[in-house]
Structure 1
Amino acid sequence: MGEINHFEYGWITPALSYALSVLGSALGLVCAGRIRTATSAGQRAWWGLLAAWALGGTAIWAMHFMAMLGFAVGGTRIRYDVPLTAASTAIAVAAVGIGLAIVGTGRLAAPRLIAGGFFTGAGVAAMHYTGMAAMRLDGSLGYDPLRVTLSVVIAIVAATVALWLAMTVRRGIAIAASALVMGIAVNGMHFTGMSALSVHLHESRGPASGTEVSGLLVPIVLAVVFGVVGLVYALLAAPSDDDRAGAAYVSARLDEAPQTVAAEPAPDPVGLRARSTLAQPGAQFPSRRSIDRPS
């Protein structure tokens, strides 16, 4: 049996994986908040897609990949099947997107939340074990059924809580606190699933297939960076609730302005109208007595 090391590079990979999960969770919660305030089906679909990428692509899948950088098995090198790795990404994003669609349409109720959480959690677990199946090494993988079941339960519970937070949490400290909790849940599910793994090395070593981690690192890092930058840009470019409220207030004040001016004209200083007649040919200069005389 091969010796498994989940922290080949010490605390760096788990710290980075947690940071990615928190960042993705925070962006996903903000995007999910825009779903609730969207005024059209197209806007809801757009923000749902961005939230699915933030939660599924960054908070879950990118976290999984970062944690796997610290995974090593003594006596064998680890490679990855690229199509299967890409499929695990698609599974994570699709699972979160469908879960958001379930809870985001209509009034949030317990049956919708449970159904969305179950589907999303099962999808997250499928992503994890698909990513594990993408590993290529000189050995066979085995799993402890009890710990696998526990990891799936954690995924479903965490997904249900995440969807509830996505539909209820709105801004500020609540989003930050929720992202920290979601980061713990995502990492807890990952390392629980990893603890179920055992590797039985083969006596005869065949030719290694797949791609080294170094070959996947650059494109994945670029995808994550551009994805995060795109999410931040989309959030900054789109008007927030406060922006819309401010625009509505200004528009209402502008609509009321002509009526206010007509109803309450500005007072005319004494003699100002009289002095303005001097510019007319043949006009007489008004005296103080004529100005003060009541009409």
Structure 2
Amino acid sequence: MTATVSNFYYGAVTPIAAYLMACLGAALGLRCTTRSLRRPHHRARWLALGAVSIGCGIWTMHFIAMIGFSVQGALVSYDATKTVLSLVVAIVVVAVGVFLVGYRGGSAANLAVAGTITGLGVAAMHYLGMAAIHTNGGLDYDTFTVALSVAIAVAAATAALWAAVSIRGLWSSLGASVVMGFAVTGMHYTGMAAVSVHLSGGSEVSQSSTSLLSFLLVMIAGPLVVLLVAAVIVMFDPDMMLGDDEQHAPALHTSGGDFAAHYPAQSSQPPHSW
């Protein structure tokens, strides 16, 4: 029997909250990447923080949205190991893309490679998170809609990486993060539109809806704390929010190689500062 599936069990609350998390992760990632170009001696640190921010933002968006996922006539639970693994996948693949453009530049070829890797990784995170679902039935996917969601993921990842190395202004970065939030959230709900659930006989799930909500909130808590810490680092970094980096940091138009010549050390910055 095919069950009725809803992605909006709590109405507009979960998609709006999910979208805001995607925007937050994107905004922090963009600002961290800008800072990495401003301070080449600490580029790796800023790129790593940016990758963690974007990865946590995407993952948190996914599982906040999944709070609104329900299957009529069945209870839903999650495999904790696969859920955590999907977070690791999100951070690692975003890091690959961010470090590629951070060190090799924003050429079309490099963006295509980095965007494809990151987009496929984001899609893998999404479907790995879906594979963590347990219910008294099986999940089936519409092939065309899955392919569309992967294409959106690749396009969104490529656009995000382009913005990371091309956009300097604070307000421009915030505008880009809003657009990226729409793209990432759109990818999620496109992927969810591909899902159908076919129920089997007896229920194999003993977990209540309350304990499921508690599980998801606990899982989300860690990445959310990471995002808040990253936001504090970004906000209190010297001149991060003042726009000085937009005036001095050049755009990445080179195709690769050592960026030391393009980003000379800023002697005015203290050696211990990120």
Q: Do the two structures share a fold, i.e. TM-score over 0.5?
A: yes
1:130-279 to structure 2, matched below 5 A, reads 130-208=128-206, 212-240=211-239
Q: Identity, % of aligned pairs? A: 38
Change over 3 Å in CA distance of 1:209–1:221 after alignment to 2: closer
Could you tell me how far 1:238 is from its partner in structure 2? 2.8
Q: Which amino acid aligns with 1:109?
A: S
TM-score normalised to structure 1 length:
0.78
Q: Which amino acid aligns with 1:75?
A: G
Q: Which residue of 1 aligns with 2:250?
A: none
Tell which deviates more after alignment, 104-113 or 83-92: 104-113
Could you tell me how far 1:14 is from its partner in structure 2? 0.6
Gaps of 5+ in 1: 250-295
Q: Which amino acid aligns with 1:173?
A: W
Could you tell me how far 1:176 is from its partner in structure 2? 1.4
Q: Which amino acid aligns with 2:92?
A: A
Which residue of 74, 80, 83 maps to 2:81?
83
Could you tell me how far 1:248 is from its partner in structure 2? 6.9
Q: Which residue of 1 aligns with 2:98?
A: 100
Per-residue CA shift, 1:18-50, capped at 9, x if unaligned?
11111111111101111211222xx11211111
Q: Which residue of 2 aligns with 1:18?
A: 19
Change over 3 Å in CA distance of 1:140–1:217 after alignment to 2: closer
Could you tell me how far 1:237 is from its partner in structure 2? 3.7
Q: Which residue of 2 aligns with 1:283?
A: none
Other structure's SS at 2:138 match: strand
Q: Which residue of 2 aligns with 1:49?
A: 48
Q: Distance in 2 between matches of 1:155 and 1:210?
A: 33
CA contact (8 A) 2:75 2:205 kept: no
CA contact (8 A) 1:30 1:171 kept: no
Change over 3 Å in CA distance of 1:45–1:154 after alignment to 2: same
Q: Larger C-alpha radius of gyration, 1 or 2?
A: 1
Q: Distance in 1 between matches of 2:225 and 2:187?
A: 26
Q: Which residue of 2 aligns with 1:35?
A: 36
Change over 3 Å in CA distance of 1:239–1:85 after alignment to 2: same
Q: Which residue of 1 aligns with 2:272?
A: none
Tell which deviates more after alignment, 67-76 or 164-173: 164-173
Per-residue CA shift, 1:35-73, capped at 9, x if unaligned?
211222xx1121111111111111x11000010000000
Q: Distance in 2 between matches of 1:188 and 1:13?
A: 13
Which residue of 56, 66, 69 maps to 2:67?
69
Tell which deviates more after alignment, 166-175 or 215-224: 215-224
Q: Which amino acid aligns with 2:204?
A: G
CA contact (8 A) 1:121 1:159 kept: yes
Q: Which has the higher contact order (CA 8 A, sep 6+)?
A: 2
The two structures, once aligned, show a CA RMSD in angstroms of 2.2
Q: Which amino acid aligns with 1:190?
A: H
Q: Distance in 2 between matches of 1:195 and 1:98?
A: 28
CA contact (8 A) 1:22 1:180 kept: yes
Q: Distance in 1 between matches of 2:27 and 2:102?
A: 18
Q: Distance in 1 between matches of 2:267 and 2:82?
A: 49
Q: Distance in 1 between matches of 2:114 and 2:105?
A: 13
